[in-house]
Amino acid sequence: MTKTKEEIQYYLTAVDRCDRCSAQAYVRATGVSGELYFCGHHFAGMEESVSKWAFEIIDERDRLNQNKLID
């Protein structure tokens, strides 16, 4: 079943910034010692190690491709 735009709930906003480069964050990783925010680029490079550390990952990178036109 495909979710419509109205059914998708996003948690990250434009105020949330990547801890590495300050770009808009699309991923939030929560571990015992706190939270880390990542842009899509930096999370892609660190996904494996962050996944071992975090007990919760909110991944909203699908938002990056939402508004692209299909030829």
How far is CA 22 from its chain centroid? 13
Please tell me the predicted confidence (pLDDT) of residue 4.
60
Please tell me the predicted confidence (pLDDT) of residue 67.
63
- Given the structure tokens 């508004």, which residue do they identify? 67
Please tell me the predicted confidence (pLDDT) of residue 65.
82
Please tell me the predicted confidence (pLDDT) of residue 8.
77
Query: pLDDT by residue (tens digit) across 17-48?
Result: 999 999 999 999 999 999 999 999 999 999 99
Of 66, 47, 67, residue with least CA distance to 57: 47
pTM above 0.95, yes or no: no
Please write down the HEC assignment for all residues of 8-49: CCCCCCCCCECCCCCCECCEEEEECCEEEEECHHHHHHHHHH
Beta bridge partner(s), residue 57? 29
Please tell me the predicted confidence (pLDDT) of residue 64.
86
